[in-house]
Amino acid sequence: MLSRHAYRLLLALLMLCPLLVNAAQAPKFKLPTLKSTVDLSSYTGKVVYVDFWASWCDPCRKSFPWMSELQGKYKDNLKVIAINLDQERGQAIKFLNHHRPGFTVAFDPQGKIAEAYKVPGMPTSYLIDQSGRIVFRQIGFRNSEKQLIENRIQSLLSNRQARAK
């Protein structure tokens, strides 16, 4: 049995796990959307925020307005792609009719892309840099960490602008 100190240390390390992503190449995907398809490879050179979600996930409901806000704020400089994992699309459509996302929603009912990304729970988000590398992973959604993620997005965008000069 872990001592209280060891337990706290382990908990602190687990909370840092999203920060310890090794900048691995993001697995490519081409998935159906409501109107067509979305292909990750077509966003090379852009910052991409990929979020895995399901209609039954309460924190996912809370993340949708913020992701819409992000997409609106950064427009062409950021691509937000939310990948739904519901096995029945009807459940996702009900959710989408209520939450009206301002970003691209794709469908992965068999969970193959989620498996490629090693998604541990709902929601899980990945920040992908302009070279297609995963530079940040967020498990869950917490209002207290929105600014951290946005700071990382701004940093990636400013790095691109600095290289362009």
Q: Would residue 6 count as lying in a domain?
A: no
pLDDT surpasses 70 at 25: yes
Assign residue 23 the CATH number of its domain: 3.40.30.10
Do the domain assignments include residue 73? yes
In a domain, 12, yes or no: no
Domain count, the chain: 1
Q: Which letter, b or e, does each residue of 88-125 get, where b requires 16 or more Cβ atoms within 10 Å of its Cβ?
A: eeeebbebbeebebebbbbbbeeeebbeebebeebbbb
Question: Does residue 60 carry a catalytic annotation?
Answer: yes
Please indicate whether residue 79 or residue 13 has the higher confidence score (pLDDT). Answer: 79
In this predicted structure, the answer to whether residue 62 has a pLDDT above a threshold of 90 is yes
Q: Which one is catalytic: 31, 47, 50, 57?
A: 57
The mean pLDDT value for 86-93 works out to 96
Domain membership flag for residue 128: yes
Look at residue 1 and tell me whether its pLDDT is greater than 70.
Answer: no
User: How far separated are the first and last CA of the chain, in Å rounded?
Assistant: 56
User: 57 an active-site residue?
Assistant: yes
Q: Report if residue 11 sits inside a domain.
A: no
> Please, how many CA atoms are within 13 Å of residue 118, restricted to the half-sphere of its CB?
8
Q: Percentage of the chain surpassing pLDDT 70?
A: 83
What is the average pLDDT across 36-59? 97
- Mean pLDDT for 90-103 is 95
What is the band of 163 on the pLDDT scale with cuts at 50, 70, 90?
low
d(CA 101, CA 95): 10
CA distance 152 to 154: 5
Instruction: Give the residue with greater pLDDT, 17 vs 3.
Output: 3
Inside any domain, residue 9: no
Asked whether residue 160 is domain-assigned, the answer is yes
| Spatial contact of 78 and 49, defined as CB atoms under 8 Å apart | yes
Q: Which of 47, 48, 60, 134 is catalytic?
A: 60
Yes or no: say if 70 and 78 are a contact pair by the CB < 8 Å rule.
Answer: yes
Task: Show the domain range for 26.
Answer: 18-164
User: Residue 2: inside a domain, yes or no?
Assistant: no
Distance of CA 35 to the CA centre of its chain: 21
